[in-house]
Amino acid sequence: MSHSRLLQLILALLVGLGLLLWLVNVLIGIYSGLSAVSPGLAIAVIGVVLLLVLGLLAALGYYGYLFLRPKRRPSPPPLPKEKSGVTTETLKAVQQQASQVQDEISRQALLERSRQIEEYLARGEIRVVVFGTGSAGKTSLINAMVGYVTGDVGAAMGTTAVAQTVTLRLRGVDREIWLTDTPGILEAGVAGTGREQAARQLAAEADLLLFVLDSDLRRSEFDPLRSLADIGKRSILVFNKTDRYPDDEVAAIVAHLRQRVREFIAPVDVVTVAANPQPVTLDSGDRLQPDPEILPLMRRMADVLRAEGEELIADNLLLKSHRLGEEARHLLDQQRHRQAEQVVDRYQWIGAGVVSITPLPMVDLLAAAAVNAQMVVEIGKIYECDLNVERGKELAVSLARTLVSLGVVSGAIELLTLALQTNVGTFLIGRAIQGATAAYLTRIAGKSFIEYFRRDQTWGDGGISQVVQEQFQLNRRDEFIKRFAQEAIARVLDPLRAQNEGDEIE
């Protein structure tokens, strides 16, 4: 209970006590006067008076309860079912994807943000973010808006270094409005850059954006305004400090602003205000502080929120859930990619070992080692694609034929021969190159299959040939070949040398 209501209750009790004492005194007087004539009549009159008093007290108690009980705010209207339903389904998908993320910090961050969106969906407050340069007068504007609504003209906030939020209500808008002041953009230094990034993030999460400026729109202001409009932010462009310009200049600036932003902001959404007008010196020498001139903004904001508030909330929630879903998919894709590359790395050297110990004709090498069916099945499991070994063999053979037809096999032999010939003895040259080539082709095949599963088991518009060519080009760079050759020496050549030396000793 507020202090004002507590004081009212105490005063009411004191008044009630005084009236009760007065009533007792009156009843005693009535009884004394009537009892001398007729004691029965005195009791009857006293009874009637007491009944009337009790009825009056009951009525006062009822109306007092209505006055003192907490006022219930009207329930806000429901959000559009179609969009809120899609948001709910998207959040369920995000939570399912997050459960598969192995990194604890990333998983908890996704789940927490998902819960925040769910809470926002349940509460449904309207989030209005005030955005612009540090000198545009954003804080003064919020102070004026809060004063306009509450009648309090005292400053609510000062210069903004971090985001600050106040709540307010507008007539005709059923939902509570959260009004957030952001740090200024375009500030110099590392700290300024950090604050600008925080401000942009808040602006991107707003239901309605108030973009404040104090002059014509500069290029450095136009770009972030346009980028926010491109992601679907509903904006009102607020030209502040108009008291510092002549009327004709204000009109010219407003006309130019409307022309520049006509593609993404309606003319009616470009409004003028003077949130903190400069003091005026009177003829008497006294200085007068004019009242803020923000009525056009308040009217326009109320009109927008009454007409579009539910859609703005629903659209923003849907956008947030989609962005969170994209982030979850990206994290999960990175995790799967790392796991799949580990599978490829393991199989490439398994195949290299088998081929280098038991040399095979090149075509058999391609079918048996470079494109291993079991590797395909394991990569498929990582991407939640349930393949049997037969299907894995079909995919492996198909890619093997592509490797041969594109000349990747001969290209791999040429690359690795040049890289290994200075490190391999004459006796071992053929076997070492076959083993390294097997590993290299397995790598190309494995990388190609990773792309195949990342694309939901399709090769894309360019088909299997384009995917294989891209992977071959990525894995033929000089720096990679040098590293690969060094690893091949350690994993293929050194075991061959050891085996050869053992045979000679025997």
Retrieve residue 208's tokens.
């309605």
CA–CA gap between residue 32 and residue 36 (Å, rounded): 7
CA–CA gap between residue 383 and residue 100 (Å, rounded): 11
The greatest distance separating any two alpha carbons of the chain, rounded to the nearest whole angstrom, comes to 146
Model pLDDT for residues 179-193, shown as the tens digit of each residue: 988 877 765 555 566
- Residue 301 near residue 170, CB atoms below 8 Å: yes
CA–CA gap between residue 461 and residue 449 (Å, rounded): 15
Using the structure block, give the residue that is written with the tokens 């003319």.
267
Distances (CA, A) of 193 to 78, 161, 196, 227: 39, 12, 5, 17
Res 498: pLDDT: 63
Q: Residue 252: how many CA atoms within 13 Å on its side-chain side?
A: 5
- Residue 436 near residue 464, CB atoms below 8 Å: no
Beta strand 234-239 with 270-272 is: parallel
Write down how long the chain is. 506
Model pLDDT for residues 79-102, shown as the tens digit of each residue: 777 777 888 888 898 889 888 998
Three-state secondary-structure class, residue 132 = strand
Distances (CA, A) of 163 to 159, 181, 234, 459: 10, 5, 20, 47
Res 475: pLDDT: 86
Res 359: pLDDT: 55
CB atoms within 10 A of CB 240: 28
pTM reported for the whole predicted model: 0.66
Res 499: pLDDT: 60
Res 357: pLDDT: 63
Res 228: pLDDT: 87
Sequence-distant (6+) residues with CB within 8 A of 398 are 464
Q: Which residues of the chain have pLDDT under 70?
A: 1-9, 12, 27, 30-31, 33-34, 36-37, 41-42, 45, 60-77, 148-163, 186-193, 354, 356-371, 421-431, 493-506
List % helix, strand, coil for the chain (3-state, nearest 5). Answer: 65, 10, 25
Beta strand 287-288 with 270-272 is: unpaired
> For the chain, first and last CA: distance in Å?
98
CA–CA gap between residue 167 and residue 19 (Å, rounded): 42
CB crowding 279-297: b at 16 or more within 10 Å, else e: eeeeeeeeeeeeebbbeeb
Res 298: pLDDT: 92
